[in-house]
Amino acid sequence: MSHLAPSQAAIFSPSVARAAASTAKDWSYIDTWLRSIFSNSSSSSSSSSSSRRPPHFERNPETLKALLALAAANEAADDHREQLFRVEQAALDEIRAAEKDREDRRQRVEAQKQNQQGYEGEEQEQEETTIDPEILASDLLSALEANLSKDGAAALEAMAAVAAELGVAYPTPEVLGSQFVELQGRALELEDGLERVDLLRRYLDREAARAEAFLAELRHSSIFALPPDLPRQNLELQRLVKSTSSRLPELTQQVLSLEKTVGIPSVTVEDVRADEEAYLDLLARKKDLDAQVRAFAGLPPDVEAARAELEALRAELRDATERRDENFEKLVERESPVKVRRRPRLD
């Protein structure tokens, strides 16, 4: 294999061997193609044609990929050129056949004219006026083409080229204009689509770069680093799982035996609902009792001491009430108007 380095080790993997064989086949195809190209372009000797092969330092996957693409494009161009040559050859043969047929008809008409030169009168005039329509159309087109100006010939050639490119059989300026406008609209739509695709590609590249940066940060960050004793923990967990799995049938048997001996009561949905309602009632009663207990907060735990403190608070309440009433009466007397008593008259 000429594309491999001499110091490369032997290949033992089947997949690598298949890849190497495919690469060798591609390089063989490229060498043959290059020899055929350079042999057609120059008449050199076999030694010089063998020197046209790429050197060893250029035999890499990138060069092989580029040469394969170039060879495929060259073959496609050769096929297109061959098809175009065949079409042109067929068109030329048809034109030559038509020219030959037209020339034969013209010769036959001239021969008939020469043979009928002896006749006079009305028959001679009719024979002289009989003209082949195809010959007349050909002569008329030739005359028009010969008398066209330079700008007119260029415009006619441009119109014919546009009609051939668009595939219009009977071109007119209106039809060609509408086709051209439609193609221009499609071109604008394609440009808009390309801009959108390019915008999406840039967005995907940016997101991919952010994801790669985040992945690199995760790889180099100490927060997400694996603990050093992770293999030991894994082994311990595996041993624990194995031991528990081995004891699982025994534990299951013990549970079954306990169910048979003790008997687990069957619980229904109604029982669970009744227990829930009882629990909610107890919870509401507890809240009420807590509210009542909070009213006696701050009292000493001794009953007699609590009663004494309660009586003292009641006495303070009575004193405060009496002071409030006295102050209210004084306020009323002060704010009430004083009535002047009239003395009786002494007559």
The reported pLDDT for the residue numbered 338 is: 56
Half-sphere exposure of 346 (CA within 13 A, CB side): 0
Let me know if residue 317 belongs to a domain: no
Let me know if residue 215 belongs to a domain: yes
Torsion of the alpha carbons at 148, 154, 158 and 163, rounded to the nearest 10: 10
The reported pLDDT for the residue numbered 53 is: 67
Q: Give residues with Cβ within 8 angstroms of 180, minimum separation 6.
A: 162
Residue 26: φ, ψ to 5° = -65, -40
Let me know if residue 268 belongs to a domain: no
**Would you tell me how many other CB atoms lie within 10 Å of the CB of residue 3?**
20
Report which DSSP code applies to 131: -
Let me know if residue 87 belongs to a domain: no
Let me know if residue 217 belongs to a domain: yes
- Which pLDDT band, with edges at 50, 70 and 90, does 36 fall under? confident
The reported pLDDT for the residue numbered 130 is: 56
Helix axis angle for 122-129 and 61-115, nearest 10°, is 170
The more confident residue out of 40 and 192 is 192
Task: Read off the pLDDT of residues 261-291 as tens digits, 9 standing for 90 and up.
Answer: 776 667 788 888 999 999 999 999 999 988 8
Mean pLDDT of the residues in the chain:
79
CA-CA distance, 240 to 203, in Å (whole number)? 49
Task: Read off the pLDDT of residues 72-103 as tens digits, 9 standing for 90 and up.
Answer: 888 888 888 888 888 888 888 888 888 888 78
pTM: 0.29
> How far is CA 6 from each of CA 3, 9, 52, 60, rounded to the nearest angstrom?
9, 8, 21, 14
The reported pLDDT for the residue numbered 333 is: 82
Task: Read off the pLDDT of residues 138-174 as tens digits, 9 standing for 90 and up.
Answer: 777 777 777 777 787 787 788 788 888 777 777 777 8
The reported pLDDT for the residue numbered 203 is: 94
The reported pLDDT for the residue numbered 40 is: 61
The reported pLDDT for the residue numbered 157 is: 80
Query: Which pair of structure tokens corresponds to residue 259?
Result: 């169910």
The CA angle 185-186-191, to the nearest 5 degrees, is 95
Domain of residue 197, residue span: 172-221
Q: Could you write out the DSSP letters of every residue in 228-287?
A: TTHHHHHHHHHHHHHHHHHHHHHHHHHHHHHHHHT-PPPP-HHHHHHHHHHHHHHHHHHH
Residue 114 near residue 129, CB atoms below 8 Å? no
Q: How many domains does the chain divide into?
A: 1
Half-sphere exposure of 217 (CA within 13 A, CB side): 6
Let me know if residue 202 belongs to a domain: yes
Task: Read off the pLDDT of residues 19-29 as tens digits, 9 standing for 90 and up.
Answer: 888 888 888 88
The reported pLDDT for the residue numbered 281 is: 94
Let me know if residue 197 belongs to a domain: yes
Let me know if residue 182 belongs to a domain: yes
The more confident residue out of 24 and 300 is 24
The reported pLDDT for the residue numbered 2 is: 44
CA-CA distance, 86 to 318, in Å (whole number)? 130
Q: What mean pLDDT comes out for the span 291-303?
A: 77
The reported pLDDT for the residue numbered 285 is: 93
The more confident residue out of 44 and 254 is 254
Query: Which pair of structure tokens corresponds to residue 58?
Result: 């250029």
Task: Read off the pLDDT of residues 170-224 as tens digits, 9 standing for 90 and up.
Answer: 777 788 788 888 888 888 999 999 999 999 999 999 999 999 999 888 888 777 7
Identity at 24, one-letter amino acid code: A
Q: What mean pLDDT comes out for the span 234-254?
A: 90
